[in-house]
Structure 1
Amino acid sequence: MNKKPSLTVHEALLKLMQYCTYQDRCHKEVEKKLDELGMYHDAKAHIISKLIEDNFLNEERFAKSFARGKFRIKKWGKIRITRALKLRQISTYNLNTALKEINEDDYIKTLHELVDYKYKQLGQKLTQANKQKIYQYLAYRGFENHLIYEAINNLKT
């Protein structure tokens, strides 16, 4: 049976510094990584406090970059971003701060682009069934119901 050699607190701290430098992380991800490394509770608390102190771990920065990235790259709506941040146990304050990173004009523009994309994909026939498909597509992406209905109703046929 091959047993993984245990790390010292200093070695684990260096590993986690690299882990957090590569990409912004939330507390939950760091705790999971420390569990994978087999660190004890006291060592985990020490490492996390050191990472926060040295600004390797900053939840507000993580939440902002997460929201910007998911919106720009994956074209997620605010509902889906909120759900994903809540799963990562991000505080309400940081969650609201992150959502402010999304420009409202860009948000509406992206929503309309997605409506147009799905409309063209469905063969440019605005039947009730196609409206439902467009709605489901946008709801899955996390856009708000009233914005989806407005965008579908403003669709140029």
Structure 2
Amino acid sequence: METNQKKIIILDKKAALAKAEHYCAYQERAQQEVRNKLYEWGLKTGEVEELISELIQTNFLNEERFSKAYVSGKFNINKWGKIKIRQGLKLKQVPEKMIAKALLSIDYDDYLKAILNCARKKDALIKENDPYKRKYKLITHLLGRGFENNLIMEVLKDNNLT
């Protein structure tokens, strides 16, 4: 008989700090991710906040660095648009100011190229003959990737994909 519940590991503060440092060193993390992990390890609210501030002071945890890495990865690797990236960062409870600052790191020309590349790839896969349905499917796909409607229309129009 298996239970699907996560086991709560109870750690003391010193062990939790070492484990949290390793957790943060492995990959950039949002504060809320680390906070949730510390609670999972059975720490109390006061201890969690102390450890979070210690991780920030020792630079294991840096929300600005995390948000820039997240934006870079999601845009360059996953080819997500800004809307989808923003939503992902909001789910990780990153402050809006940091989200806006991190999104500025995306080059505008590269962003338009990403929309165009994504549109061309999808256009080649659409088997619809009706031009209106084709356009609808293409736009819906690009919106689902998180690109802005006005930029989608601009790119499609400029490249005769409509």
TM-score (norm 1): 0.92
Amino acid at match of 2:90: K
Cα distance, 1:16 vs structure 2 = 0.4
Cα distance, 1:155 vs structure 2 = 3.5
In the other structure, the counterpart of 2:3 is none
Residue 132 (structure 2) aligned to one of 105, 128, 131: 128
Q: Distance in 1 between matches of 2:82 and 2:160?
A: 25
Cα distance, 1:153 vs structure 2 = 2.2
In the other structure, the counterpart of 1:75 is 79
1:154 aligns with 2:158: yes
In the other structure, the counterpart of 1:56 is 60
In the other structure, the counterpart of 1:39 is 43
In the other structure, the counterpart of 2:4 is none
1:117 aligns with 2:121: yes
Secondary structure of 2:75 counterpart = helix
Q: Provide the alpha-carbon RMSD of the alignment.
A: 1.7
TM-score (norm 2): 0.90
1:136-147 equivalence runs, <5 A: 136-147=140-151
How many equivalent residue pairs?
Answer: 155
Cα distance, 1:145 vs structure 2 = 0.4
Cα distance, 1:156 vs structure 2 = 3.8
Gaps of 5+ in 2: 1-6
Q: Distance in 2 between matches of 1:147 and 1:123?
A: 24
Distance 1:116 1:73, change over 3 A: same
CA contact (8 A) 1:79 1:142 kept: yes
Cα shift readout 1:31-90 (whole Å, capped 9, x = no counterpart): 110111011111101110110000000000000000010000110001111111111111
Cα shift readout 1:104-128 (whole Å, capped 9, x = no counterpart): 1110001000111011111485711
Secondary structure of 2:106 counterpart = coil
Q: Give the fraction of aligned pairs with identical amino acids, expressed as a percent.
A: 40
